[in-house]
Amino acid sequence: MRRLLAAAALAAALLVSAGCSGDEPSATPTPGDTGTPGTAAATPSVAPTGTPSDGGSAPGAVPTPGTSVAPAGGNAREVCETASKSAADSADTYITQLGAMLQAEAAGDTAGANTARTKAEAALKSWSAAMREQAGRATDARLKAVLGEIATEVGSMKADVASVDGMKLDELQQRLDALCGN
């Protein structure tokens, strides 16, 4: 699942900027607006848990530079493989449908945009449910915690790029990669 969450966030952002390239920039800046049309500043992610003295091994810990996190134990290999496949399928569907929604909106096809939006949101629900299911199966507490956080983050996303917190997704992906041995 290497960088899958970050790739989803990036692809969604690229789809929006490409789909909106002919739009006029808003005269009123929105929170997080960098002033550049088609881009928005990412919101800061939650502070990492764990401390450098614990080597980043506390549940939910983010590895600090120069430290490594031992891969998750127990049934982690099976859980990571299943989570990776589920996430890849759902993320692909989400990105595809988000692109279809933007294209339909640009073409003035309201019905097509609504259908694509519904499919994109269903992909997010499926992705979140799959991560929650794998969190429930994980025997390693750290892996269980990260998958639960991913489920929550993905569950908060919508068929709207503004709902994607790229920094948070990247931080979660780094933690998952470390635990899954990627």
Q: Read off the tokens for 180.
A: 């899954």
Tell me the whole-structure pTM to 2 decimals: 0.66
Q: Distance between CA atoms of 1 and 133, rounded to whole angstroms?
A: 16
Q: Which residues pair with 40 in a beta bridge?
A: 33
- Minimum mean pLDDT among 12-26, 105-119, 129-143, 166-180: which range? 12-26
DSSP classification of residue 158: B
User: What pLDDT, in 10s, does the model give residues 111-135?
Assistant: 999 999 999 999 999 999 999 999 9
Q: Read off the tokens for 35.
A: 């002033």
